Structure 1
Amino acid sequence: MSTLSLRRYLYQRYWRWISHYLDKRQPAADKVVLTQKLIFILPSRYGCWFMLLTALLYLLGTNYQNNLILLLSYLMLSLFLLCIVLTYQNMSGLTLQCPRAAEFFCDAPGIATIALSSAKSHFMLQLNFIDQDALTLEQQVDTAALTIQQSVRGCYPLPRLKISSSYPFGLWRSWSYISLQQQYWAYPTPIAGQQQQFSRDDNNSTAEHKTTAPSVDSLAPYRSGDSLRYLLWKRLARDPFNPVIRLQQHSPEAEPDWVEVPAVSGDALERALSIACQQLLVLEQNGNRYGLKIAGKTIAQSNGPAHLQRCLQELALC
């Protein structure tokens, strides 16, 4: 077993054990307030060297009976112990929650919004999900946007959020792992394709789009209140006593469409879901009414952000 594999194995075992401990200590909740029960504090690497230097100065001052060196060691020890309280207070009382579920496409970074609130200020906080990049907040903010990635479509519970800080002097490091009662959606990656998944409504399959073009027959006498935009000025010059206007033409309403996912499995299913995802996005962007047929389910035709979200969630869970 290579060194890298051994480290990964040990880390997985450690995280499995710590997750079991944290699940009992802090179950998932909609809102979490950092208290003494949830905050862990240990000396940082810099703090360990600082404490070693303090001990050496104390031994040196005792050996040579130098009061100035002893006074310096006492001051350093006092500062070291005071930082425990300051580091704890910098995190205590902070309230965190995730107001809405994150939504993104597979293999693309998503954004999970974390709301932070507190009656006091907090400085130099670092937030990140496990195995994700950390975000540093130098000052107190209301919201923090954290990146989250997932390569497999589906609906997943939000992973534990790690929040840490070494404020004010970096001698101590405080951290906490919190679990928020929220989920995130990973949708199939949209790709274009020629698969026959796009069809017209069965009730309108024989109907054709009929567009009307302005012609000389679509004229009407001018009446008071009509827009001068449609007035035929050339004809008015020839016959000023009989003004006419061109009737404004209206395009017929677009026919509703169906997006169908065939009954396949494996890689063929993943490709079909990605193509269907792309078609849903195009139909929504064009303002068309559309429905979804997938795995024996039928979602009625509609449009709008809520309808698109429901269709994408069905693709993620298929």
Structure 2
Amino acid sequence: MRSRIKYWFAKHVDRKHTADHMIFKHDSIYVLPSQSGLLFIGIMVLNFILGINYQNNLILAVSYIMAVLLIVSLLSGYINFNRLGLKLLSVNDNYEGALTDAIVELESTKERYNIIIRHINTGSEVTINEVFKNTIAHVTLPYKRGVYTIEKFKITSHFPFGLVTVWSYLHSNKTLHVYPLPKEEKAQINHIITGTDGDSNVNDVQAIDEFNELKPYQQGMSLNKVSWRHFAKNQQLLVKGYTSEQSVSVGFDFDLMTGNVEERLSKLCFLVVEASNNQQPFALKLPNETVAIGSGQSHRVKCLEILSEY
């Protein structure tokens, strides 16, 4: 029976809510009494029965007022939720143990109250007490190393008196990469020379540190290579380039690392980050995949994503 319910839910509900941007309307909003509301209904019914049995108009009046209050709560809760928009802007890939979160935006043309956004897989949630126009919220995603599909958010409200629960869903197919936590590796690093046939041979290479050129400083470059003499003269940050940076590339091999799988991945992650920060071309070799020599931000991200997926 439970499997049938899950199948029906996945077929009819998840499909309807699969998107990165939703405007909640009557066909995607669900309303039921909350736990407090169920207790409230029980007391209301009990008052009504007592009023009938003892023919006490005052007790009957109280039960009628409670019924009206419940109906007002249902209507107010629905109106508070109706036409509310939710957009998943992005997910922040990061290292394990650092902040990985989903950035969402609530869209509204009027004030909304008590909106709770909960990520079902991790249980993380954020509460926005008041929403007006566009409100940005960050939902923490405390995952370990790996690659994950964001999947389902549950958006809930108990406005106005906590007697009803109004909710809906947003199901996203965006992926999140959690990279290994960088761990410094002091072992000797072998260099890889890529031949014209595309094969990689591991050899030791001597770098020729001959000055070659000055190039503009970019964020992430090592300050040790800045030409401070030129900066003092014309207030321009220039970085010294050497022939060794253009002719020598390094390769990081999983099999050359020490420790268990997670420790090796952490050491490789550290080496990838260091080489990328120093504008050093590098290759990456894992037991099931090899990334050719490259450089730049896209190459760095590709290598980190592969490390997170291993």
> Which position in structure 2 is the counterpart of 1:262?
254
AA at the equivalent of 1:283: A
User: Runs of 5+ in structure 2 lacking a partner?
Assistant: 196-203, 213-229
Query: Rg larger in 1 or in 2?
Result: 1
> Which position in structure 2 is the counterpart of 1:294?
285
Alpha-carbon displacement from aligned partner over 1:11-59 (angstroms, at most 9, x marks no partner):
xx96x76653332123222322323333322212211221222223223
Query: How far did 1:271 drift?
Result: 2.6
> Which position in structure 2 is the counterpart of 1:46?
36
Higher strand share: 2
> Which position in structure 1 is the counterpart of 2:240?
251
Equivalent residue runs for 1:143-292 within 5 Å: 143-153=136-146, 155-197=147-189, 199=191, 205-210=205-210, 251-253=240-242, 255=245, 257-263=249-255, 268-285=260-277, 287-292=278-283
Structure 2 SS opposite 1:209: coil
Alpha-carbon displacement from aligned partner over 1:153-172 (angstroms, at most 9, x marks no partner):
2x221131111111110011
Contact 1:98 1:115 in 2 (8 A): yes
Structure 1 SS opposite 2:206: coil
Counterparts of 1:112 and 1:67 in 2: how far apart (Å)?
A: 54
TM-score, normalised relative to structure 1: 0.72
Query: How far did 1:199 drift?
Result: 3.5
Structure 2 SS opposite 1:158: strand
> Which position in structure 1 is the counterpart of 2:223?
none
Distance 1:266 1:101, change over 3 A: farther
Query: How far did 1:197 drift?
Result: 4.1
Counterparts of 2:272 and 2:49 in 1: how far apart (Å)?
A: 74
Aligned with residue 83 of structure 2, among 77, 83, 93 = 93
> Which position in structure 1 is the counterpart of 2:135?
142
AA at the equivalent of 2:31: I
Structure 1 SS opposite 2:52: helix
Alpha-carbon displacement from aligned partner over 1:163-188 (angstroms, at most 9, x marks no partner):
11111100111222321131111212
AA at the equivalent of 2:144: S
Q: What percentage of residue pairs aligned between the two structures are identical?
A: 24
AA at the equivalent of 1:147: T
Counterparts of 1:47 and 1:165 in 2: how far apart (Å)?
A: 13
Query: How far did 1:111 drift?
Result: 1.0
> Which position in structure 2 is the counterpart of 1:244?
none
The answer to whether the aligner puts 1:21 opposite 2:21 as a matched pair is no
Query: How far did 1:272 drift?
Result: 2.4
AA at the equivalent of 1:207: A
Residue correspondences, number? 269
Alpha-carbon displacement from aligned partner over 1:123-182 (angstroms, at most 9, x marks no partner):
1111121242221110115221111122242x2211311111111100111222321131
Alpha-carbon displacement from aligned partner over 1:44-96 (angstroms, at most 9, x marks no partner):
22112212222232233334434333223212101101211221222222222
Contact 1:195 1:275 in 2 (8 A): no
Structure 2 SS opposite 1:251: strand
AA at the equivalent of 1:137: I
> Which position in structure 1 is the counterpart of 2:111?
121
Aligned with residue 303 of structure 1, among 296, 300, 304 = 296
Aligned with residue 76 of structure 1, among 38, 41, 66 = 66
Contact 2:257 2:264 in 1 (8 A): no
AA at the equivalent of 2:307: L
Alpha-carbon displacement from aligned partner over 1:263-317 (angstroms, at most 9, x marks no partner):
58997443322111112222333x423323224533443223x332222112223
Structure 2 SS opposite 1:181: strand
Equivalent residue runs for 1:57-76 within 5 Å: 57-76=47-66
AA at the equivalent of 2:262: E
TM-score, normalised relative to structure 2: 0.73
